[in-house]
Amino acid sequence: MAEYNIILTKETIRNRVKELGETISNDYNGKNLLVICMLKGAVHFFSDLIRHISTPMLVDFARVSSYKSGKTSGQIEKISDITIDVYQKDVLIIEDIVDSGNTLRYYIDKIKKSSPKTIKICTLINKPSKHKGCVKIDYVGFNLDCGYLIGYGLDFAERYRELPFVAQLTSE
């Protein structure tokens, strides 16, 4: 049986997601918004967040993986990509968590080749001490410096994604 400590409750997440949605709505007013959900981890965050964004948008999904069986493998692999053309769009990438920043850097470099008008990043959780600012994040739900997190989309070996809160895994 897994043991964990809840770090972000349902209510805390709900309130912050609403605030982020309002900020993004103001910033993207009148823009050509394309929101990209990074699967699988960002799926809860993405679906809650876009319902708080009033700007008309297109949505698409991509899956890039750097973690295997709950541990980092150091290898980044693109599993599936968006199908909408990003040319001249205002692209907003939605991530679950930025740790080393390697996954995001890999995907941003790829998207840039298709000439979006702008490209910004929104993550639910940022672990700033890990990437030390080497990837620019425009919208952060929570800056956290803690151990391995599960829940609200985040997995350990594909489990715990369904939990409605974010928790730190203390034992497996």
Residues at the contact surface with Mg ion, assessed by CB under 5 A: 38, 41, 96
Does 141 help bind ligand IMP (rule: CB under 6 A)?
no
90 is catalytic: no
- Note whether 98 binds ligand IMP by CB under 6 A: yes
Number of residues that bind ligand IMP (CB under 6 A): 16
Contact call for residues 39 and 94 (beta carbons, < 8 A): no
Minimum CB–partner distance for residue 10 and ligand IMP (Å): 18
16, 96, 106, 132 from 75: Cα distances, Å = 32, 18, 11, 20
Active-site residue, selected from the candidate residues 48, 96, 99, 155 = 99
Q: In this structure, what token pair is assigned to residue 65?
A: 């993986």
What minimum distance in Å lies between the beta carbon of 171 and ligand IMP? 15
- Close Cβ partners of 81 (under 8 Å, ≥ 6 residues apart): 62, 63
**Binding string, 27-46, against ligand IMP, x = CB under 6 A?**
--------------x-----
Helix 43-50, helix 10-27: angle, nearest 10: 60
Supply the residues annotated as catalytic: 99
